[in-house]
Amino acid sequence: AMVVRDGQEIIIPSRELVPGDLIVLQAGDTIPADATVLDSVCLSVDESILTGESDSDSKDLRTPKLFTGTAIAAGHAEACVTAIGAKTEFGHIAELTGSIGSKQTHLQKHLSKLASQLGFTALIIAGGISVLGIALGRDLTEMLMTGLSLAVAIVPEGLPAVVTITLALGAAAMVRQNALARRLQAIETLGAASVICTDKTGTLTENKMTATRIWTPDQLFQVTGTGYDPAGHIEADDGKRVRARDDAHLAQILKIAATCTHARLVRGQKDWAMTGSPTEGALLALAFKGWQSRATDGDIISEIPFDSDRKRMSVLSRASEGNEILMKGAPEAILSVSTNIRTADGNQPLGESNHNSIREAYEEMAADGLRVIAFAARKTPEQNITESGMTFLGLVGLIDPPRPEVRDAIKSARSASIRVLMITGDSPVTARAIAAQVGLDADTVVTGKSLDEQDDAGLRELLKSDVILARTRPADKMRVVSTLQAQNQIVAMTGDGVNDAPALKQADIGIAMGIRGTDVAREAADLVLLDDNFATIVGAIGEGRRQFSNIRKFVRYLLSSNAGEIVALVVNIAIGGPLIFLATQILWMNLVTDGVTAVALGLEKGEPDQMEMPPRRKDEPILGVGGVALICLLGLYSGSASYWIFNSLLDSGVDLARTTAFTAMVTFEKISVFAFRSLHLPCWRIGWLSNPLLLVAFVVTMGAQVLAIYWTPLQHLLHTVAIGQNQWLLIAGFALPLLIVPELVKTIQYVASQRAR
């Protein structure tokens, strides 16, 4: 930081600044502390790091506050340091962000609860069966080993690995869709989101100012194209394309747009890059669309730059017939120095009727959310600029256009019963206009100042309606997120600036912008959008829903497989006779065959109707009553069938009966996986071959089981013997219903639901 101490300008580390220091600021400097402007020349400050809005703000003695971390865009100034460190605006936001502790995702909470339930159940059942066996006269060592094996059977040991692999692969898939998960569980949480609180600038819009409309007293022109790419064109009312050479009046406006500017457009490898003010960049692109060449440096004689008092910029330019003053700025500022207006009939006095026409055109553009710039010019024999006696030429309307894919993305979010709430620092008029263009219906637009007047009960009622929040501050965003969470909503919050960090951390899932987002925002977020695009959020929601659905599927699948083993063992011990499964066989089923299939099940693609379903409830468990019922039903069938096979073959020898029952249980578990590919759609609806890895896993695990009963080393390890064709046919007969019945039930349910629609 450059400071003035003892009358000397010296450079010191910014950490050594103290309140009262006099600092010197130049264009390009980052402001090192909160300060008050004492003297300035054409000072403009980029405060987007705090406000999230892209336009630079003019600073002078009337608006003297400067904030840490913001940047000098133009001009220079002297300022007095008023606050440093934690007492700065930046520090207050950091303190607000730090006040929010670490959070657990909903998946973490549900898995933790499930783990506790399974652990308790495993101890009770394993201990109970061991005691039962010992009471019925079984060998103590045998029952202790069986009890331990049952504990292994009840707990799905592969669950942590399967969850981690599924989330990691899902995160990798999302990176390919321009969403970077900073925490693996983040995308799953986003899948449960019921409200998306989204910023406007750069998320719903392109963050590139674009001229869309030109008004003159005799003509209204429409402008095509977006951003700073000059590939668009200008159209007259009749749809005819026009250029500068076709209309002298239009040519004069385009000349001012190309001359009265400091912006530069440079063509990159993929896109056009702009340096300078976004408004000037948009006007320069407009001039290029009309085939207007920009002035050379030698054509500009002098300039009066834009400032917040005059709200206009003027240049003195050489013309073919003497010099010319070219001016652009706010309509009211241009009108205040204009005495004439140019029409098709030539220059006319700027009377009341013309004033009214200009005002009507200006208000109509503003109502559509356009930023309006006025243009004026006059010839002069002088060598300096006198801002008076100007001839008013017309108006240009500019807007940061909505991203073309956002409307469909919002429609998709609505079909999934996800509410989209716009929270922006921009003006209410612009916020309402953009909302209308992207399909966000809003009953009212509420400013941050109005939010201050609302108590908590009033804010809760307000947020139940379709509302847009404009001119908001960091505390406003955080309060809105907290209120929505208190209503049992799962809230996703987008942001890019330092001011967004507290709300990003408070939300159930914070989403930062990767391109224009600050490091502070990205550090506070759970998910980073690499393309700053709202449509990417909706895509990530679909991925999150897929992940949770797949986790629910393989948890139910693993537990139903384990339930079958438990049923078979309980019946076997209660009735008596040799053990149906040995400890090593139980471990084989749980640690070898089930895990591979469950991982493949976790890679199921998203179901066709997943974005037509409402978000799951905040307290909705992974299993639920329906899941427990399904687990018990399948477990009862597979366990009973295995025990029947075992009991019916005992006369042929214990080893053959046990090996056949063991193989039957493995086969039942592998066949039943197809019933879990979707919990409500039949396989023919989602595609039998849509998950080839599951088919590979099925073949591999069944192949491993064949080795277990025919390969000598595994026969010794697992105590198995070879089985014949009759035993395989018996297994197939009992396995077939596990494939047919679930498909039949889900097909009937699907057809009924389609008819109901």
Catalytic residues: 199
Helix residue spans in 270-417 (DSSP H): 278-289, 331-335, 352-367, 406-415
Cross-strand partners of 399: 210
SS (H, E, C) 166-231: HHHHHHHHHHHCCEEECCCCHHHHHHCCCEEEECCCCCCECCCCEEEEEEECCEEEEECCCCCCCC
CB atoms within 10 A of CB 124: 11
For the record, the structure tokens of 468 come out as 């847009």
Which structure tokens are listed for 59? 């600073």
- Rounded to 10°, the helix 725-756/624-648 angle is 160
Q: Are strands 195-198 and 491-495 parallel, antiparallel or unpaired?
A: parallel
What is the spatial distance between Cα 34 and Cα 736, in angstroms, rounded to a whole number? 75
- What's CA 602's distance to the chain center, in Å? 23
3-state secondary structure 26-69: ECCCECCCEEEEEEEEEEEEECHHHHCCCCCEECCCCCCEECCC
Alpha-carbon distance 664 to 646, whole Å?
A: 9
According to DSSP, the residues that pair with 65 across neighbouring strands are 36
Contact 293, 300 (CB under 8 A): no
Two tokens, residue 152:
């292994």
DSSP 450: H
The residues near 734 (Cβ < 8 Å, ≥ 6 apart) are 641, 644, 645, 664, 668
Strands 338-343 and 346-349: antiparallel
**Reduced to 3 states, what is the DSSP secondary structure of residue 138?**
coil
CA distances from 698 to 195, 322, 711 (A): 39, 86, 19
CB 621 within 8 Å of CB 113 = yes
The packing angle between helices 428-438 and 406-415, to 10°, is 70
The DSSP output letter for 494 is E
Q: What is the DSSP string of 504-562?
A: HHHSSEEEEESSS--HHHHHH-SEEETT--HHHHHHHHHHHHHHHHHHHHHHHHHHHHH
In three-state secondary structure terms, 6 is: coil
